[in-house]
Amino acid sequence: MATFPALKPNSRTFTPGQFPATPITTLTGDELSVRHTNSSNSYFLRLGFTGLTTDQHFEITSHYMIHGRFQPFDLPTEATAGANLSFPANYQWIYVRAPQTQYDPGVISVSVELELVPPYFV
Amino acid sequence: MTFPAIKPNAISFDMGRSNTSEISTFAGPVIFRHSKRINGHVLQLNYVGLSQSQVESIRDHYYSSSGTHNYFDAPTDLWGGLRVVDENAVYRYTAPPEEIHQGLYYDVTVSLRIIDGTTLLFVLEGNGASQPALANFASFAFTGTAPFILDCNGVSPSATLLLDSSGASL
């Protein structure tokens, strides 16, 4: 699938993934945890782009229109530049929701929220 | 694996809960205490302006703790001098740390749950007390009527034992 547009974000929020586990509270007050798998999921990345051109804005919106919430895709290095983030092999990103656009006169800002998911085939 | 020794810019927390359960009756709530544990405190750490290596140490610690699965201990410095839980308390992540990337620096919010906080045990401390000289006796005859007062005035530390046999019978 098409890689996310190679645009450098102006802001970025990262939430590391979770390892599926179920907490169990015993009668003595101990809080135990049962882990179900070695894999992790629910990595989130929120990217903010400010001052986009209309062409750059169209790159993002058309990418979303093609992939929607359904088709996973890869991220370019520009999206995570400088943060030294690492992710499980072969995982890909999907949109959490549609990109949000704010259009002040002359300034286009877009907020994109992505989730990292294990590989699957579509 | 101990939580990284990075002092937060601000913390917030609640005081946990006792290990009780509650049922409602027509006469009001009836509360059962299952143990003397108090835990479940949620401690939120707010970091502002962390360096790359500092944010990576928190991120690596989160991954090495298997996310919210494993428990760990944390330096008492996190509490900024407040005495809320035992020094030996153990923690778990309640959620993944959230990183806000600010160019060269990072703002991070960490939420921890204390799974072994405080045990309600009374500790009697006899600070500086020493045992005075003992006098052996096989029997001691009390005369008169109760209550009897065994007055130990003059010993150090001062102690007074009150023997009250009110209502006693042979």
Q: Does A27 touch chain B (CB under 8 A)?
A: yes
Q: Do A16 and B40 touch (CB under 8 A)?
A: no
CB atoms within 10 A of CB A55: 7
Identify the band that residue B93 occupies on the pLDDT scale cut at 50, 70 and 90.
Answer: very high
| Assigned domain for A54 exists | yes
| B66/chain A closest Cα distance in angstroms | 6
| Dihedral sign computed on CA atoms, order A14, A19, A20, A23 | negative
Per-residue pLDDT for B155 more than 70?
Answer: no
Let me know: does A63 contact A47? Beta carbons within 8 Å: no
Nearest alpha carbon to residue B95 among B69, B57, B116, B60: B69
Q: What's the domain range around B36?
A: 10-119
| Assigned domain for B169 exists | no
Which of A14, A21, A83 minimises the CB distance to B69?
A: A21
pLDDT at B74: 93
Farthest CA pair distance, chain B:
87
Number of compact structural domains in chain A: 1
Which of B34, B63, B100 minimises the CB distance to A28?
A: B34
From CA B6, how far away is CA B55, in angstroms rounded?
Answer: 10
Q: Do A15 and B97 touch (CB under 8 A)?
A: yes
Which of B34, B68, B69 minimises the CB distance to A29?
A: B34
pLDDT at B20: 87
Per-residue pLDDT for A6 more than 90?
Answer: yes
Q: Do B99 and A13 touch (CB under 8 A)?
A: yes
| Assigned domain for B135 exists | no
Which of A29, A30, A35 minimises the CB distance to B69?
A: A35
Residue B31 half-sphere exposure toward CB, CA atoms < 13 A: 5
Number of compact structural domains in chain B: 1
Q: What is the mean pLDDT of the segment spanning B113-117?
A: 81
Query: Nearest-CA residue of chain B relative to A33?
Result: B69
Query: Nearest-CA residue of chain A relative to B58?
Result: A16
| Assigned domain for A48 exists | yes
Q: Give me the percent of chain A exceeding a pLDDT of 90.
A: 69
Q: What is the pLDDT of residues A16-69, one digit of tens each?
A: 999 999 988 888 888 888 989 888 999 999 999 999 999 999 999 999 999 999
Q: What is the mean pLDDT of the segment spanning B100-110?
A: 93
| Assigned domain for B69 exists | yes
pLDDT at B35: 84
Identify the band that residue B170 occupies on the pLDDT scale cut at 50, 70 and 90.
Answer: low
pLDDT at B3: 96
pLDDT at A37: 87
pLDDT at A13: 96
- Provide CB contacts within 8 A for A55, sequence distance 6+: none
Q: Does B37 touch chain A (CB under 8 A)?
A: yes
Per-residue pLDDT for B119 more than 80?
Answer: no
Q: Residue A37: which region, alpha, beta or left (left: phi > 0; alpha: psi -120 to 50)?
A: beta
From CA B162, how far away is CA A112, in angstroms rounded?
Answer: 76
| Assigned domain for A122 exists | no
ipTM (interface pTM): 0.80
Q: Do A28 and B68 touch (CB under 8 A)?
A: no
For position A81, which CATH number holds? 2.40.30
pLDDT at A102: 93
pLDDT at A50: 95
Query: Nearest-CA residue of chain B relative to A87?
Result: B63
Q: What's the domain range around A79?
A: 11-117
Per-residue pLDDT for B118 more than 90?
Answer: no
| Assigned domain for B148 exists | no
Per-residue pLDDT for B161 more than 60?
Answer: no
| Assigned domain for A2 exists | no
